[in-house]
Amino acid sequence: MPIFNYGIDHLTPGVAIDIAEGRTQGVLNEEATQKILASRQNVLDITEQERIVYGVNTGFGSLCTTIINKADAGKLQENILRSHSVGVGAETPLDVAKLMMILKVHALSKGYSGVALETLERIIWHIEQDFIPYVPQQGSVGASGDLAPLAHLFLPLIGEGKIWKDEQWITTRELFQSENKDSLNLGPKEGLALINGTQFIAAYALKGFVRMSNCLDSADIIGAMSLEALKGSMKPFDSELHQIRPYKGSIYVADRLEKLVTGSEIINSHQNCSRVQDPYSLRCMPQVHGASRNAWLHLKEILTIEINSVTDNPIICSVDKTISGGNFHGQPMAMPIDYASLASAEIGNISDRRVYLMLEGDVEGLPALLMNNTGLNSGFMIPQYTSAALVSENKGLCFPSSADSVPTSLGQEDHVSMGSIGGRKLNTILDNLENILGIELFCAAQGFDFRKPLKSSAILEEVHAHIRQQITFATEDRIFGDDMAIATDIIRNKEIVSVANEAADRHNINLYNHEVFGIY
């Protein structure tokens, strides 16, 4: 199994997912261990010298001027976990909570936080054993660290909170009894270091980033299938057109679309038709899908910096240098998350327009509502209603969370990012987007069949065959909601992307730029 060295190696979103899913092992090597021990000693020396350092021997937030005596240093750190565990709402998905722990270990292992080695080893034990703490979704304002969710996440270190084990929630005490473990005694600064940071924002952003990547790849493939069903033109994907307006996303999408339909008999069958140009939802796929890819690239750049950064407070540089700064503030992540949310919603918006085009019956050989015997049958009319509803819902969710701020901590924390809310909203938008793309996939596969006996490209024929293994051609009305659910699962499980990439590899077609548009 590949090894990732916490605090030393460069973490990418893909590697973080691999650690969470057990394909890579995260460890503390000797170099990281020495940095952790040295930083811990700095905090202990500061405590012994009774130098005033925020959160080490002072209260928190607006209580930063209240001095805490040395004997109560440990109690102070346990109290912060308890007092800040005030989250509400539904539970954070287990995969997100696990990512939070992975990101926190990596940040604390860089040697600027002063936590004990034993504390980090215990968190790693939770990760490796898949003992995931209960974390409510709501309560973070995304600025003074993701305080509430991180407090819940690390309650088990002191023997409190709940743990997911054997498909149920149990108390931490029950876990420790079954695993022969004791709670930890936190020392100076440890509680503050654990709850100060952007790991809730970053974990949600990381999950959304990977999901958005799959949606973008899927949208190109499904869009190409819709293009074939609608007898669209390849001319708008000519590389010369995009080189004179050279956005990375547009160039990449145009190249993919051209390769996805190369060799298609359907394309060749209408090269000399009278239609001058296609509607925007077909011809502008490089520009629209490409713009969303540009947003994704921006999120990739910012997220990669964030998950390799130290985001707690104060930062312990040495015994003589401690800095109370603002690395915990979520604004650098909050704004790109909002940008990615808008970009994801727009992919759904243009997808719905392609569905509508396929239903109109204005293109030769494609019946209205994608069914021959309509009247008695409603055909594919109503799936587009669902698509329209989801598109509209996503528009409402696009209001930027980062545009809001509510002061907290008696004005000490007077500007906050709300990036935690943005991260959750991004994933809600992606839930809707996967359903929208599933509806287009369902419709495009139906339209594709009306082009027989003509064949499409080798890649799209394999994608269509894969869909038809699970969803049959519809000659009359049935419970289309069941078909739509299957189509959405095909997208969520990354099936059409895998099928398309494997087909491209077999035909020596370079469909995917791993270096720029990969998650690693």
Give pLDDT tens digits for 287-311.
Answer: 999 999 999 999 999 999 999 999 9
Provide the angle, in degrees to the nearest 10, between the axes of the packed helices 458-468 and 495-506: 140
Answer for the pair 368, 360: CB distance below 8 angstroms, yes or no.
Answer: yes
Q: What is the DSSP letter of 474?
A: P
Domains defined along the chain, listed by start = 3-196 (1.10.275.10), 204-312+329-403+419-517 (1.20.200.10)
Counting as low any pLDDT under 70, the low residues of the chain are: 62
- Give the 3-state secondary structure of 5-34: ECCCCCCCHHHHHHHHCCCCEEECCHHHHH
Q: H or E segment at 132?
A: strand 132-133
User: Distance between CA atoms of 173 and 162, rounded to whole angstroms?
Assistant: 9
d(CA 78, CA 158): 7
Q: How far apart are CA 140 and CA 260, in angstroms?
A: 43
CB atoms within 10 A of CB 449: 13
SS3 content of the chain, % helix, strand, coil (to 5): 60, 5, 35
Four-CA torsion 219, 225, 230, 232, nearest 10 degrees: 80
For the chain, how many helices (H) and strands (E)? 21, 9
Contact predicate 228/267, CB 8 Å: yes
- E strands within 299-447? 315-316, 322-323
**How confident is the prediction for the chain on average, in pLDDT?**
96
Question: What is the spatial distance between Cα 100 and Cα 46, in angstroms, rounded to a whole number?
Answer: 29
> In terms of residues, how long is the chain?
520
Predicted pLDDT of residue 260: 98
Q: Which residue has the tokens 């202990």?
A: 44
Q: Which amino acid is at 248?
A: K
Q: How far apart are CA 410 and CA 413, in angstroms?
A: 7
**Annotation marks residue 54 as catalytic:** yes
Give the separation between CA 359 and CA 439, rounded to whole angstroms: 12
Q: How many Å apart are CA 358 and CA 162, to the nearest integer? A: 50
Over residues 88-146, the pLDDT tens digits come to 999 999 999 999 999 999 999 999 999 999 999 999 999 999 999 999 999 999 998 89
**207-230 burial: b if 16+ Cβ within 10 Å, else e:** bbbbbbbbbbbbbbbbbbbbbbbb
pLDDT, residue 453, reads 97
CB 302 within 8 A of CB 332: yes
Say how far apart CA 7 and CA 154 lie, in whole Å: 19
Question: Which candidate in 54, 112, 252, 339 is catalytic?
Answer: 54
Cα–Cα dist 26/328, whole Å: 24
